[in-house]
Amino acid sequence: MDKKLIVANWKMLPNTLAEAQEILELVNDYLESIGEKKEFSLVFCPPFVFLEGVGRILKNSHLAHGSFLGAQDIAIDDGGALTGEVSGPMLRKLGVEYVIIGHSERRWKLAESDEMINKKLKSALRNELIPIVCIGEKSRDSSFKEFLEQQIETTFKDLSSDEIGKCIIAYEPVWAISTNPGAKPDTSANALESISIIREHLNLKFKIKNLKFLYGGSVNSQNISDFIKEKEINGVLVGGASVNKEEFVRVLRHIT
């Protein structure tokens, strides 16, 4: 079977590079213990300040076999006066291969519009980075299908079918994220329904059929099996659980 893709989004954690190294070392020890049984690839997305250090650790360990460096965001332009931003060319020079685009925390907490995310997506593609594009509704109400379709329309505006085909879609229902008030656990049935809606709309509008889909809604060792077993779900986007080194290894154990 195709290997599942496990994306570790560390957000604003850990606090030091030494702590990051501890996470990677424990994961490395686990990978060495299972040898050829590994049925997944890993992408680590640390904060910008740790990208170079984490990239160096990945290259010098067993993690080098099937592990990749990812960024949590990207600037809309490749250079110029954008204080605080990190450009695509900068990320490439650090060895970054993947970049998360449109995470729900940036959409809802930092007010990034679909139009802004569209520009960031174009920046990632322009710099030959693999975009992990987050799509998801804020609430599971009667209009969630229309919401997803509109989000797709604007996020992928003016992109060719070939460009969209280079993306990975992370279905991320905001209402299922544990850090949000009133969060409710998602089910694989709900996730598959939403992924089907996204897939069908992309096929209708852009003639895209063979996209890879991740699930990202407070994934942990207790629920990952429910999602990863589905053939339509090609992997998971793991948030808080990926920074707890013991918990992240428990997550990985459910995939091998």
Using pLDDT thresholds of 50, 70 and 90, give the confidence band for residue 2.
confident
Q: How confident is the model at residue 64, as a pLDDT? A: 82
The residues that are catalytic are 103, 172
The model's pTM: 0.95
Hey, which residues does 133 pair with through a beta bridge? Answer: 101, 169
Q: How confident is the model at residue 21, as a pLDDT? A: 97
Q: How confident is the model at residue 38, as a pLDDT? A: 80
Given a cut of 80, whether residue 183 has pLDDT beyond it is no
Indicate the range of 118-122, 137-141, 166-170 predicted with least confidence: 137-141
Q: What is the DSSP string of 9-54?
A: E-TT--SSHHHHHHHHHHHHHHHHHHGGG--EEEEEE--GGGHHHH
Given a cut of 60, whether residue 134 has pLDDT beyond it is yes
Q: Report, as an integer, the average pLDDT of 191-214.
A: 92
CB 71 within 8 A of CB 98: yes
Using pLDDT thresholds of 50, 70 and 90, give the confidence band for residue 30.
very high
Average pLDDT, the chain: 94
Nearest alpha-carbon partner for 169 in 128, 123, 208, 127: 208
Given a cut of 90, whether residue 184 has pLDDT beyond it is no
Burial of 72 (0-12, 13-18, 19+ CB in 10 A): buried
Given a cut of 60, whether residue 1 has pLDDT beyond it is no
> In the chain, what are the domains?
4-253 (3.20.20.70)
Q: Report, as an integer, the average pLDDT of 149-175.
A: 95
Q: How confident is the model at residue 63, as a pLDDT? A: 87
Q: How confident is the model at residue 39, as a pLDDT? A: 87
Cα 188 to its chain centre, rounded Å, is: 18
CB 76 within 8 A of CB 86: no
Q: Which residue has the higher pLDDT, 110 or 177?
A: 110
Q: How confident is the model at residue 207, as a pLDDT? A: 86
Hey, which residues does 69 pair with through a beta bridge? Answer: 44
Q: Which residue has the higher pLDDT, 62 or 70?
A: 70
Given a cut of 90, whether residue 51 has pLDDT beyond it is yes
